[in-house]
Amino acid sequence: MIAVDTNILVYAHREDSHFHKKASAVIAELAESDRLWAIPWPCIHEFLAIVTHPRIFSPPTPLEDGLIQLECWLECPRLQLIGETVDYWQNFRKLISTAKIVGPAVHDARIASICLANGIETLWTADRDFGRMSGIEIFNPLV
């Protein structure tokens, strides 16, 4: 199963994004397929935080529009939302210790650890910082 990172969701949502068409097509393909896919809960939260932030987008996405977008994705029958499990801490600790992850990259390690604990094989992301983390395949569907 694959999981989708925040940046792909943001690009799919924001029409002013350089990657909008490709990201939107990727998400639509997942939504319309018979394939299981996932979004980690932290990516849901981060999506809302980014698209509604007035220092990131001018104009930002109105909160209600961001919520509606998420609800549209959540209606996809093959989508699973994933979060921390009982195995999460072990995966997280091992991941950050092995890769010596500190600072802002800890958030990315959280997402990778959630994916590992939930049996995700591949994380679709445009964020190269995930390349430092072992145990999960990273794929950029936008290139």
Strands (E), the chain: 2-4, 37-40, 79-82, 122-124, 137-139
CA 65 – CA 53 distance, rounded (Å): 13
Number of domains forming the structure of the chain: 1
pLDDT in tens, 71-98: 999 999 999 999 999 989 988 999 999 9
Q: Which CATH number goes with the domain that contains 11?
A: 3.40.50.1010
Backbone region of residue 100 per phi and psi (left: phi > 0; alpha: psi in -120 to 50; beta: other values): left
Regarding pTM above 0.85, the answer is yes
Q: Report the sign of the C-alpha dihedral through residues 14, 20, 21, 22, in that order.
A: negative
Range of the domain at 112: 2-139
- 63-78 mean pLDDT: 97
